[in-house]
Amino acid sequence: MKTKAPVTKNERLDVTIADLTYQGMGVAKVDDFPLFIENALPGEELTIQVTKVQSHYGFARAVTWKTESPDRVKDVDKTYRQTGIAPLQHLAYPAQLTFKQHQIAELFSKAHVEVEVAPTLGMANPTQYRNKAQVPVRKVKGQLETGFYRQHSHDLIPLTDFYIQDPAIDAAIVKVRDLLRQFEIPAYDEISDKGVLRTIMVRRGYYSHEMMIVLVSRTQKIPSQAQLVDQIHKALPEVTSIVLNVNAKKTNVIMGNVTRTLYGKPTIEDSLLGLTFAISARSFYQVNPQQTEKLYQMAIDKAGLTGEETVIDAYCGIGTISLALAKHAKQVYGVDVVPEAIEDAKVNAQKNHLSNVTFEVAKAESQMAKWQEDGIKPDVVVVDPPRKGLAESLIDSTAKMGPKKVVYVSCNPATLVRDVVRFQELGYDIDGAIQPVDQFPQTPHVESVTVLVKK
């Protein structure tokens, strides 16, 4: 029998917010039926209007507040919520850190896993931290604009200050936008699949201040390309690399497979934990360098290396963790599925004069199985997977290799919990507290480091 929801669309109700979801929305319950409300904080009493009703939950919007949370931040710019740039900006920063710690603890408790979660490591300045921006270029009211999409839509909201990005990057985007207007470069139109410029991507080294501008184009060449490139590097003295990326497909994927250097070199350099890294247009590099150093240092400390160990780094990217580990280990093996990332990783090993590292291009799960067959016996395995977490086969191969320790760097608590349960079934236990690190202030995302030891 289908139970009827206790609320109807457009109904107005008085509620008290009980909790925040992992996406940072307020939750109110009406007869155990959850309603999700944007911009509402735990403890607040408010009048809401129901906007959508599903069979097991609904959505509502806040109409008026009767009481406000002491953790509410006043005078926030609602644009950052509308675009999803800073969905937690209305929550005071200390409360954001507690929310992230609670999020991890809650998920483990639901899975009946006993664990201690340490307080989240935060930032002194939880804004202006991103070292990379990807902003769409569109025509709005007859003029080429850069900005961000309104959430759940493709309406571009023009923006010049992105709040969580390095201000030098924001300024560079405005300069490039003005030059695109000056040279009358047509913005991409996704409905007709016409036009030229789709996206501007900017990367800037936190320590080096080298800047890369990537122009993502629908066409093989941009009109007035030589003059445009010349003007960009004259206007922006920090620019050491200008790259054209061609994406001719009708797709939401930002970058295409063809990348050409138009000025300077194909990479920029930056340093992390005292090592130098070359970063190319399409390689993965953590976007919050200050917190990444804390995160990786934590992973290295928890690995407890003495210089005698063999270590595997699954999902090694351009070698950031691998090379940091190599300074403290006997031999490190790294694997990543992106060929350009492995090319960068090999260059980075040479740059840092580290010869005790081997990098392979492969899916982490198949390479782990191969290493296991080759009889490689790691003492420590470090994993830093994407949001979807670890493949079951990778967990199985790891357990068969029998490392004393697995250091799990996670960007998604839900898949972390699932994977930890799997490791426990195969004879591993959590050692010490889980350490959350706030890599993405003003958003609900949380990274963490968990250590698993062989029973």
Element (H, E) at 428: strand 428-430
The alpha carbon of residue 406 and the mean position of all alpha carbons in its chain are separated, in whole angstroms, by 22
Beta strands 310-314 and 331-336: pairing type? Answer: parallel
Residue whose C-alpha is closest to residue 262's, from 219, 207, 225: 225
Element (H, E) at 138: strand 132-140
> How many other C-beta atoms lie within 10 A of the C-beta of residue 355?
9
Amino acid letter, 99: F
Rounded to whole angstroms, the Cα distance separating 348 from 327 reads 13
Name the packing angle between helices 225-235 and 167-182 (round to 10°).
150
Q: DSSP states of 276-300 as a string?
A: EEEEETTS---S-HHHHHHHHHHHH
Beta strands 12-16 and 45-53: pairing type? Answer: antiparallel
Residue whose C-alpha is closest to residue 382's, from 327, 437, 335: 335
DSSP designation for 67: S
Element (H, E) at 203: strand 197-204
Rounded to whole angstroms, the Cα distance separating 322 from 313 reads 6
Is 376 within 8 Å of 310 (Cβ atoms)? yes
Instruction: Give the angle 178-182-187 at the CA atoms, nearest 5°.
Output: 75
Is 452 within 8 Å of 420 (Cβ atoms)? yes
Is 172 within 8 Å of 211 (Cβ atoms)? yes
Phi/psi of residue 320, nearest 5 degrees: -60, -55
Phi/psi of residue 224, nearest 5 degrees: 55, 35
**How many Cα atoms occupy the beta-carbon half-sphere of 261 within 13 Å?**
12
Name the packing angle between helices 413-425 and 392-401 (round to 10°).
40
- The count of residues in the chain is 455
**Residues annotated as catalytic (active site), given as ranges:** 411
